[in-house]
Structure formats: C-alpha cells, structure tokens
Amino acid sequence: MVDIAIIGGSGFDQMGGLEFSHSESIITPYGEPSAPLNYGTINGREIVFLPRHGPAHSIAPHRINYRANIHALKHIGVKKIIAVAAVGGITPQMHPGALVIPDQIVDYTWARKHTFFEDESDPVVHIDFTWPYCELLRRQLIDTAVRINQPLISQATYAATQGPRLESGAEIIRLERDGCDLVGMTGMPEAALARELELCYASCCVVANWAAGKGEGEISMEQIEAVLSGAMEKLRPLLAALLQ
C-alpha cells in the first residue's frame, strides 16, 4: 500500500524523478480530485503524486476541491502528505529561491469548503490545530536537508490568502504585523482537512517572489516562473533523499 503522497503546487505540476507506474481516477463523496492520482516510485519507494492545480495547471486556488483531494488520498491508504507550495516572502530571511518548512498558519481564506464535518447530520468535531503541521514529517524534511547539505528555513508562519489576485502592499504590511513570514493561496483549508482525517501533513514551501511591496516594483508571473523552475530543482533531491 502507498502510504506517502506528494501534492504538487505551482511550478511542480509534474513529479520529475517519478518512475511512473499507473494513474487512478477517483470520485469521492466530495467530488473529483484535481487530477487522477499518479502512482510510481522515487528511489524505489512507492509514492502517489497529485498536482493540486490539475495536470495542466488550470484550477485556481479558490476553485481547488481540497476536500476531494484529501479524501481521495485518505481513501487509498495514505498516511503522510508532503505538500509543495509556491509562496511570496514577507520577512527578510524569506528571499526568493529559499526552501521553507513552515510551522504555523494564519488563515485569511473565506468561502472555501473547509471541513468534512459540515452537515447537520455530521458529528460536531473540533480538531486540535495548535501545531497545524505534523512535527514528525517536518523533522524528517529538516533532517534530510541537513544530511544532503541543502539550506532550508525550518520555521515560519504561513499566511493563507484567498486569491487569485496577489495582495496589496497594505495587506502584506498587515500580514507581517500579524506575525506572518510567508504568503500563499493554497495552504488552507488543505492542512486542516488533512488533520480532520488524521493524516500527517507537512508543507515544503518554495519562495517565488518578494510579497507585494517587499521587493522592487510589481510582481510579474515571468519572474515567479523563473525563480520557481530553479528552486524546484533543489526540491527534487530533497524529496528523493527523504524517500530513501
């Protein structure tokens, strides 16, 4: 049984290094996941890969069916999820190109299907979210980075914004005041849904750009894509070493 999944984000819609075996289309009680699940091996270890934005990067952050994605992974027996995500850097250490394993979240998203316990007929469930990420998996990522000499920032607070637009300069100042280091659009409700289904979930963020007002001039998609393609190349060896 495949017990580890990688959810790919922007710039990581394909899992390079995956020896592909087969894909499986699943329909969950919450609808269809972003893509068929791709099974294969990395360094001999079986994994399943799911591109969050769809195989052709066509699903915007607010339209992703987070519940179907997490439910599908739970359904096939996954226990651990490594969620790759592109983010903007707010605080000075979070420079473009950096790899970051966040340990906290502030959720600014709205109107997303954010719980499996929504209906009147569902039990009232309040998950503990004091530490929103699985510390065991965070440690494994951090220790692997040390082992392969890959610089990585091991603590940060992730701000989840609604998107799809980028933030205003004033919004980023507010997020910084709130204690946030990074900003992205997909970290929530994904992390909370994983916790609701008792999955071990950690995120590996790649800083694509300085957040609004923190760098020079406007943020361009070309800039973001250029940084991401370089930075994702650091991520592949990290994931391969972790899976060994």
Where in 160-179 is the site for ligand HPA (CB under 6 A)?
A: 161, 166-167
Q: Is the peptide bond before 189 cis (omega within 30 degrees of 0)?
A: yes
Alpha helices in 76-151 (DSSP H): 135-147
Q: How far is the CB of 164 from ligand HPA (least distance, A)?
A: 9
How far, in Å, CA of 242 to CA of 72, rounded? 23
* Segment interacting with ligand HPA (CB under 6 A) among 43-51, 121-129, 132-140, 159-167: 159-167
Provide the CB-side half-sphere exposure for 209 (13 A, CA).
Answer: 22
Q: Does residue number 185 form part of the binding site for ligand HPA (CB under 6 A)?
A: yes
Q: Does residue number 83 form part of the binding site for ligand HPA (CB under 6 A)?
A: no
Judged by beta carbon, residue 46 or residue 171, the one nearer ligand HPA is 171
Judged by beta carbon, residue 88 or residue 189, the one nearer ligand HPA is 88
Q: Under a CB-based contact definition with an 8 Å cutoff, are residues 111 and 163 in contact?
A: no
State the amino acid at position 61 in one-letter form: P
Where in 85-104 is the site for ligand HPA (CB under 6 A)?
A: 86-88
Judged by beta carbon, residue 86 or residue 202, the one nearer ligand HPA is 86
* Interior angle at CA 36, CA 6 and CA 242, nearest 5: 15
Number of residues engaging ligand HPA in binding (CB under 6 A): 12
Judged by beta carbon, residue 22 or residue 165, the one nearer ligand HPA is 165
Q: Does residue number 8 form part of the binding site for ligand HPA (CB under 6 A)?
A: no
How far, in Å, CA of 25 to CA of 115, rounded? 23
Terminus-to-terminus CA distance in the chain, angstroms? 17
Q: Which residue's CB atom is positioned nearest to ligand HPA? A: 88
Q: What is the CA radius of gyration of the chain?
A: 17
Q: Which of 5, 208, 235, 242 binds ligand HPA (CB under 6 A)?
A: 208
94 forms beta bridges with none
**Binding footprint of ligand HPA on the chain (CB under 6 A):** 86-88, 161, 166-167, 183-185, 208-209, 211
